[in-house]
Amino acid sequence: MFVRIVSGLLAAAIGAWAIIAGGLPLLAVAMVVAVLSSRELCDIARNRDIPANTFIAVPGTALAVVASYSGHFDYLPAIFAGIVISSLVAHIVFYGTRAAISGPAVTVMASSYIGWPIALLFQLRGEPRDIGGAWFTLLAVAVVVATDSGAYFSGFALGRTKLCPAISPKKTVEGALGGLFFGILTGVLFNLVAPRYGLLRLPWSHTLVLSLLTSVSGEAGDLVESAIKRDAGVKDSGVFLPGHGGALDRFDSVVFGIAVVYYYVVIFGRA
């Protein structure tokens, strides 16, 4: 428990610093997470004898991240189209008809599942001097982390009713509700302190809805990765943070949360 808490706090501090700084520090952290997560997903698939192509998935993910960071977000459809085509062709060349559906599918998934949300991260964050972008990005990550931590400790203290025993036997309804409570509370606190940083408060209706959607998406992301690991018969996606497992284990919820906040801001604006 102590190791989990310390490593989690250290990762949170580095992540917060990278988000606030923006630019190259954020690119460095995001690239590490993206590349490791993409590789881990390919490794998980191979545990099910699905030949996912790491040599396409990982560079494809990295290319999507760099394109978004460098101001070429509009290149992403072409990048992912290239990943789809190259995955199909490479699979036929190296594996023929074996796993001809699942192999390329997982390769594409290993790029889009991670690469697309992290590409959205740079669109949400904006320029280093964009305080509003930093605020929304921190909000997305903070709500998800609060949801994850709240669910863990609420489930530990109050958990009785199994949530999805076939997917994750340790998750409970009480833990999930506790996670939602702490996630929404974090969103409310962010909105309360916004004026201190020269930002307008969001209408409270938007604050509550956005916090709820982000919190729910974080829990959904966690369940999705748990289902993938259970299908493959693995406990952790890899080794990244002591006490937390692999990069995908740690950021499975965050990528969903970032996507939700980004599209919410696109649809409803920042005010």
Q: Give me the DSSP letters along 166-204.
A: TTEEEEEHHHHHHHHHHHHHHHHHHHHHGGGGT-PPPPH
For position 270, what pLDDT does the model report? 63
* Backbone torsion region of residue 171, taken as left when φ is above 0, otherwise alpha when ψ lies between -120 and 50, otherwise beta: beta
For position 242, what pLDDT does the model report? 66
For position 1, what pLDDT does the model report? 63
Torsion (CA) 160, 161, 166, 170 in degrees, nearest 10:
-30
Residue with tokens 């988000």: 19
Q: Is residue 163 a contact partner of residue 172, using CB atoms and an 8 Å limit?
A: yes
- Exposed, middle or buried: residue 187 (CB in 10 Å: 0-12, 13-18, 19+)? buried
Residues of the chain with pLDDT under 70: 1-4, 241-244, 270-271
Q: Is residue 154 a contact partner of residue 137, using CB atoms and an 8 Å limit?
A: no
64/38 Cα distance (integer angstroms): 12
pTM across the whole model: 0.92
Please give the span between the terminal C-alpha atoms of the chain, in angstroms, as a whole number. 40
Q: Is residue 163 a contact partner of residue 176, using CB atoms and an 8 Å limit?
A: yes
70/271 Cα distance (integer angstroms): 26
For position 7, what pLDDT does the model report? 73
DSSP 163: E
79-86 LR contacts (CB < 8 Å, sep 24+): 80/108, 80/111, 80/112, 80/115, 80/116, 83/56, 83/57, 83/107, 83/108, 83/111, 83/112, 84/108, 86/56, 86/60
For position 228, what pLDDT does the model report? 95
In 3D, which of 55, 194, 198, 34 has the Cα closest to residue 113? 34
Q: Is residue 167 a contact partner of residue 227, using CB atoms and an 8 Å limit?
A: yes
